[in-house]
Amino acid sequence: MKSQILLVALFVTASASAQQDIREKNFNVKRGVAMEGYDPVSYFDGRPQEGKSAMRFTQEGVTYQFATQANLARFRSSPEKYEPAYGGWCAYAMGRAGEKVKIDPETYKVINDKLYLFYNFWGNNTLTDWNRDEPLLKNNGDQNWKRFVP
């Protein structure tokens, strides 16, 4: 019985480690921090804010920064709610071509309690394009993201 418990524990640990490796490789992380240092919880209050380097939390290998202790606590209690869709890559690019494209952290949309981030540089705001065909792009993005993080 003890050997079976040990085998199950080893399997769970190996699975968690593999999932963490996949996330570390595929999430949009720059200089060790996701979302270019923005606080993921702040988007749900309608005011994206830059997080503070002193307030960090790592969720399965991906590090986020927070503007306030309250936001950090909210994230810790429900990280799946606050983590951005598609690992923080441009939602439009993921939906259109299954590509990981950088984002402007202040160009976003919250859809059904999920955060989506977008590319917005050099006069190309992909949120505008996303809004033209959101249902199709969201469905495609959901399917495409599974190739990176099953």
DSSP states along the chain: -HHHHHHHHHHHHHHHHHHHHHHHHHS-EETTEEGGGB-GGGGGGT---B-EEEEEEEETTEEEEESSHHHHHHHHH-HHHHSPGGGGSBHHHHHHHS-----EEEEEEEETTEEEEE-EETTEEHHHHHHHSHHHHHHHHHHHHHHH--
pLDDT of residue 17 exceeding 50, the answer is yes
- Decide: 87 and 101 in contact? Cβ < 8 Å: no
Segment 11-20 mean pLDDT = 58
Q: Model confidence over 72-126: pLDDT tens digits?
A: 999 999 999 999 999 999 999 999 999 999 999 999 999 999 999 999 999 999 9
- The span from the CA of 20 to the CA of 59, in Å, is 9
What is the rounded average pLDDT of the residues 57-79? Answer: 97
Contact predicate 137/95, CB 8 Å: yes
Could you tell me which residues come within 8 angstroms of residue 142 by beta carbon, excluding any fewer than 6 positions away? none
pLDDT at 12 over 90: no
Higher pLDDT, 6 or 89: 89
Q: Residue 8: which pLDDT band, with cuts at 50, 70 and 90?
A: very low
* Mean pLDDT, residues 5-13: 39
Location of structure tokens 């439009």: 92
Task: Band the pLDDT of 16: cuts 50, 70, 90.
Answer: low
